[in-house]
Amino acid sequence: MSHIENAPPPPAGFRILDLFAGPGGLDVAADVLGYQVTGIEWDDDACATREAAGMDTFHGDVRKYSASHFPHAQVLTGGPPCQTFTVAGRGAGRRALDDVLGYIERLHAVVSGAEAKWEDVSRTWREITEELGEKAAEAERIKAEKREVDALRAVERKAIRKSLQEDGSSQERIDRVLKALRASRDLAPEDADLNDLVAQYSSLGTALKSMKADLEKLGDERTGLVLQPLWWVIERCRRPGLEPFEAVILEQVPAVMPVWEKYTEVLATLGYRTRTQLMFTEAFGVPQTRKRAVLMARLGGTEIPEVAETHERYRPRPILTRTSKETGALFWDPEETAVDRTPKKSWVSMETALKKARSIAPDLPDRPAFTVVSNYGTGGDPGARGERDHDAPSATITGKVSRNRLVHKDTKEDLPEECARFTFAEAGVLQTFPVAYPWSGKDQPQQIGNAVPPLLALHVLRHVLEPELSDEQARARLEQAVADLEAWRPGEPAKVREHGEWEGHPLTGK
């Protein structure tokens, strides 16, 4: 049974629908605030975690659902996957971004008309989804061809190796030729006599390059998912018989901010007050440096101010040199305004967060002073691993968090095996999940890395949904919610529903 049926009435009676809900980062934040959330999530493993955590869930692709299925939802939230935008500004990422902005403009044009009819609005959306579907189908066809070409190239490469071996070529020459082929480079002058031998392989490489270029133009099928929340809002506002969502909250990586800005133009036309904000997670008490682009919208009412930062932003203390002493070294982030530099709490370190978690779960590892050595190289150099000491916030928690090594802070020697890596519970704590959160299913590090930090979600939810609170009331509310979040424990598991299982659900009215 889900906690949604037994929770106390939320402060403002809101029922939240969370698209692309993941393992429950926003859900657990809403839970401690007293709100009731239903999530839609396609990933089986994330659904397993949600089920164990008692989070109300519909399983499946968001595109198979509709806003009309949940007429009693009052707030829409979500973090649509936007991997194709992470390289925005060059190549495929820039094209994907431009495509999405163009689709949003088309939707805006049709909803802005003085006599806009639902039939026209739905037709425009149908045309967009058909275009995206055609691109996805073409991309799948090209991917199938590409797999065949890759297989043929592998066969050719083996044949070339065998031919060179039979001709008595040295191992050095064989390695040099195969390395050039793998890198799609021309053969060295001293190997020019092999051009006929590698001609077929080279022609396959040319075909492969063409396919890759075509795939870049078509884009990633996930690109269109970022349009889903906007369409759900439009449907609730324009489809006869439905009521608009009272509030909308969306979050993603900073590269998606241009999409959120374009969203605000449509939302304003639909009667919403909006605010976009680049949020630094450590500035809201998350023991981790991470940036998120957040869109907040409320139907009518007053303007939405930015969410006030409660903690300092993290920055390594500058090393003072003669030049820095003369020019004045910056001890604040140059992106911050004068208002931002009012006294705040210090950011929360990994050490502080994990120590507090151990007071709740004593079986967690108790380590000496440590340094986290990232799985990632810096500046493209795999040997230049990023490092962060225990008395600082964690670097961004990703799906590869379990590969990070923990070493002694002073000697850089590996810690004992039993505490040389973060446990899943600890990685969740660094994302501000409760230490008791029941991570389940496969690839739990990926679930953790993909989730919205619950503490960040808590700040945003309270800010958008409770504007009537005074500053003092808001602070007290946050303090209590943070304490409840840290001490949260799962209740009874919640059975995950499938598409079509509407009966008896509070958001469906059936």
Q: CA 151 → CA 140, 181, 216, 509, distances in Å?
A: 17, 15, 21, 52
Is residue 82 annotated as part of the catalytic site, yes or no?
A: yes
Burial pattern 448-483, b for ≥16 Cβ within 10 A else e, equals bbbbbbbbbbbbbbbbbbebebeeeebeebbeebbe
Taking the C-alpha atoms of residue 350 and residue 312, their distance in angstroms, rounded to an integer, is 15
Residues 85-92: contacts with CB within 8 Å, 24+ apart?
Answer: 85/223, 85/226, 85/252, 85/253, 85/255, 85/256, 85/259, 86/253, 86/255, 87/255, 88/255, 88/258, 91/216, 92/216, 92/219, 92/220
Taking the C-alpha atoms of residue 3 and residue 52, their distance in angstroms, rounded to an integer, is 11
Query: 397 and 385 in contact (C-beta within 8 Å)?
Result: no
Which element (helix H / strand E) includes 430?
helix 424-430
Q: Whose CA is closest to 159, among 125, 212, 119, 204?
A: 204
Residue type, 57: T
Taking the C-alpha atoms of residue 29 and residue 478, their distance in angstroms, rounded to an integer, is 11
Q: CA 104 → CA 6, 26, 70, 80, 357, distances in Å?
A: 39, 26, 23, 15, 44
Counted residue by residue, the chain has a size of: 510
Residue type, 139: A
Question: Nearest 5 degrees, angle CA 332-CA 296-CA 302?
Answer: 100
Taking the C-alpha atoms of residue 433 and residue 446, their distance in angstroms, rounded to an integer, is 14
Residue type, 353: A
Question: Nearest 5 degrees, angle CA 390-CA 393-CA 397?
Answer: 105
Structure-token match 């440590």, residue found: 370
CA-based Rg of the chain, rounded to a whole angstrom?
26
Catalytic residue (choose from 47, 82, 237, 419)? 82
Strand 56-59 to strand 36-41: parallel, antiparallel, or no bridges (unpaired)?
A: parallel
Q: Which residues contact 87 (CB under 8 A, 6 or more apart)?
A: 93, 94, 255
Residues with a catalytic annotation lie at 82
